[in-house]
Amino acid sequence: MRILVSWLRELVEVPVPVKDLAWDLNMVGFEVAGMEPVPWRDADDAVVDFEITANRPDCLSLAGLAREVSTRYGTALHLPAPPPLEGEPRLLPVRVTIDDVGRCPRYAAAVADVAVGPSPAWLTRRLEASGVRAINNVVDATNYVLLELGHPLHAFDLAKLAGAELRIRCARTGERMTTLDGQPRDLASDMLVIADATRAQAVAGVMGGHDSEVTGATRTIVLESAYFQPASVRRTSRRLGLSSEASYRFERGADPEAPPRALARVCAVLEQIGAGRVRPGAVDLYPSPRPRTRLVLSLERLAAILGRAVPVDDASRILRGLGFVVEPVRDAAKAALEVTVPSWRNDVTRDVDLVEEVARHDGYDRLPTTFPVLSTAPAAPDARLERDRAAARLAARAGFTEAVTFTFIERAAAAPFAGAGRLVAIANPLSETFAVLRPSLLPGLVDAVGHNRRRERRDVRLFETGARFATDSGETRGLGLVWTGSGDEDHWSGTGRPVDFFDMKGVVEAIGAGLGLELAFGPAACDYLVQGRTAEVAAVGPDGRRVAFGVLGQLAGAVAVARDLPASEEIYAAELDLDAVAGLASLGEALAVKPLPRHPSVVRDLSVVVDDALPAAALRATIRRAAPATLVRLWEFARYHGKGVPEGQVSLSFRLTFRDADRTLTDGEVQAAVERILAALGGAHGARLR
């Protein structure tokens, strides 16, 4: 909100220099852009830009800020008080009807004969200083009152209203109109409009229509001053992609008692500048007046929250200065104030809101610095958060950098990672870029890879923990990883090698081990991963039960190309379901300390020839089942196919380490164990010793 200081001084005495005024208002909660007033036209005047938070629409006006200044300095407030409009509503030459009282609880209107022309210099100067372009004296008068009182108004050319009627209704299906900015608008059936007898003439609370615009030929106008439901204005403004000074105020909550006061004020301004003469008769339709909120503020509670006692006279003075009606509660056992909230303060609904008002103007700097006393032990952290943090730490240790991507993504990015029926659509997206909730963490990570590659970053390793959404499974927590570029660090001794499937598999294994999980891998098919370079990941429980944990593999070329990445670039991705292993992951358990072995181990190497399509995991599982408890380590260290190995087969070499904690094993015991293992491999997989 930009204000001209000389205009503000007409409403309230400011007993300090302009620079001090900006600082003092900043101290009561109003941020000043740059903390420096900007000189305006001459050395005796300046403009100040205030950042008004969404909960204070009453301060989107000169009157609202003047009320704060008056309370801050204890000076008199002189708000404009025009006489109310007189005359019977039946004298009004236009008929007004509210069809939708829910979206438009109040509507006031008056008629004036006007001579459209330029505004006087003083009015134009004030508008321009406030960032508003002067148009003509009629429109400028409505904008002037908007800035002064904070209530939007609109003027219609009466001659252009069919049937001399204003009807507040919802748009008809397929109805169109052209707004003041010259753009045709398609209206939905739940959008409120101001219509004449035949067509819509304004989008209620947002913008007027081109067909009833005030021009140099206008002789009689209808002035509108209304209160519209904030949610209705906000929804319409977003769907039309149309924002205005009026919608900015209405969607934050205007004053339902302001319409007749603002209407009388704009009529007074029109007559003051010689722009028109108001006809007798005005209409103010308010079928269901809204009662004002009444609250009780306990002085004991006020002191408990602020940490210091505020004298009752000071609290009453502050609240009255801000427009509250304050009366002492007639109860000898309770020191309290009964406070009636003014209609323009829709943000005050509880006694703690009153406490905040007192604290602001009594001075935050006067509050004592104390630490709150803990009366109960803090709740234990959510197990899911601990699991997420552990997964993030493990991914970071593997050399990955954490990324934070949007939960809302475009439908085209989400589609490859979930069937169309599983996507959760946003009911009212800001744009197509944010049309659905992400079904997977990978779309955002893939786009992040593209962002890095376009900035000449060759090696990219990213991870993210977060929520995924689908219609069948709801919200789940996951860990996503992507890796492209080098598989190891560049070194002078070599050029490095590109990342491959087994690099990503190793990272997943390390994360599983860090979470206390035993993992099993198997071939899988996935639409967004390359066939033959894709594996499913399962977590194995103590009872042998397998739980689907995720998937890993190379990103399909078509998916990469769709996200502006070259199809030739190998990108490996993995996504793990952290919720699925909630009952299996072991975090925070006590570490078991074991003494170093006292007896030597015995190592035997085995090379077996098997079918080349047989997974090595199957061989490892068979070895562990057949081996005695003395097998303490199993390591697959070589894979060979070529000369000496039949076509379609492969030689796998395993290193077996045996050790007993209580004695030294004999060669015979180890040899017997090896023979049992070879027999099991031959029976289960047709393996033969090489």
Q: Where are the domains of the chain?
A: 2-73, 89-285, 294-365, 383-577, 602-689
Q: Report pLDDT for 41.
A: 65
Res 596 pLDDT > 60: yes
Res 587 pLDDT > 70: no
- Report DSSP state, residue 350: S
Cβ count near 286 (within 10 Å): 17
Average pLDDT (357-370) is 90
pLDDT category at 588 given cuts 50, 70, 90 is: low
For residue 649, what are the CA distances in angstroms to 118, 122, 608, 652, 686?
A: 94, 95, 10, 10, 11
More confident position, 375 or 286: 286
CATH code of 602-689, in short, is 3.30.70.380
Res 636 pLDDT > 60: yes
Cβ count near 309 (within 10 Å): 13
Average pLDDT (330-337) is 79
SS3 call for 580: coil
Does residue 174 come out as left (phi exceeding 0), alpha (psi in the -120 to 50 range) or beta?
left
Largest CA distance in the chain: 118
- Do 50 and 32 form a contact (C-beta atoms < 8 A)? yes
pLDDT in tens, 172-220: 999 999 999 999 999 999 999 999 999 999 999 999 999 999 999 999 9
Q: Report pLDDT for 43.
A: 58
Q: Report pLDDT for 509.
A: 94
| 294-365 has the same fold as 2-73 | yes
User: Phi then psi for 609, rounded to 5 degrees?
Assistant: -100, 125
Res 320 pLDDT > 80: yes
- 625: which 2 tokens? 């089942």
Question: Which long-range contacts does 538-543 make (Cβ < 8 Å, 24+ apart)?
Answer: 539/512, 539/580, 539/581, 539/584, 541/583, 541/584
**Which of 31-45, 237-251, 410-424, 523-537 comes out lowest in average pLDDT?**
31-45
Cα end-to-end distance, the chain, whole Å:
84
For residue 24, what are the CA distances in angstroms to 32, 34, 37, 130, 664?
A: 10, 14, 13, 21, 84
- Report DSSP state, residue 461: E
pTM of the model: 0.63
Helix, strand, coil share of the chain (percent; to 5): 30, 30, 40
CATH code of 2-73, in short, is 3.30.56.10
- Do 157 and 212 form a contact (C-beta atoms < 8 A)? yes
pLDDT over 90, % of the chain: 70
CATH T-level assignment (fold) for domain 89-285: Phenylalanyl-tRNA Synthetase; Chain B, domain 3 (3.50.40)
Mean per-residue pLDDT of the chain? 91
> Which regions of 308-390 does DSSP assign to beta strands (E)?
325-328, 336-340
Q: Are strands 276-285 and 154-157 parallel, antiparallel or unpaired?
A: unpaired
Q: May I ask the CATH class of domain 383-577?
A: alpha beta
**Which of 82-91, 495-504, 583-592, 639-648 comes out lowest in average pLDDT?**
583-592
Q: Report pLDDT for 38.
A: 67
pLDDT over 70, % of the chain: 96
Q: Report pLDDT for 432.
A: 84
- Do 419 and 397 form a contact (C-beta atoms < 8 A)? no
pLDDT in tens, 8-67: 999 999 888 887 888 888 888 888 775 456 666 665 688 888 888 899 999 999 999 999
- Do 153 and 146 form a contact (C-beta atoms < 8 A)? yes
Q: Which residues lie below 8 Å from residue 367, measured CB to CB, with a gap of 6+?
A: 306, 307, 308, 359
pLDDT in tens, 670-688: 999 999 999 999 999 999 9
**Rounded CA separation 423/434 (Å):** 13
**Rounded CA separation 302/359 (Å):** 9
**Rounded CA separation 512/393 (Å):** 12
pLDDT in tens, 226-283: 999 999 999 999 999 999 999 999 999 999 999 999 999 999 999 999 999 999 989 9
**Rounded CA separation 9/323 (Å):** 19
Q: Report pLDDT for 24.
A: 85
Cβ count near 619 (within 10 Å): 22
Res 335 pLDDT > 90: no
* Residue 107 bridge partners (DSSP): 226, 285
Q: Report pLDDT for 225.
A: 97
Q: Report pLDDT for 613.
A: 86
CATH T-level assignment (fold) for domain 294-365: Phenylalanyl-tRNA Synthetase; Chain B, domain 1 (3.30.56)
Report CA 378 to chain centroid distance, whole Å: 28
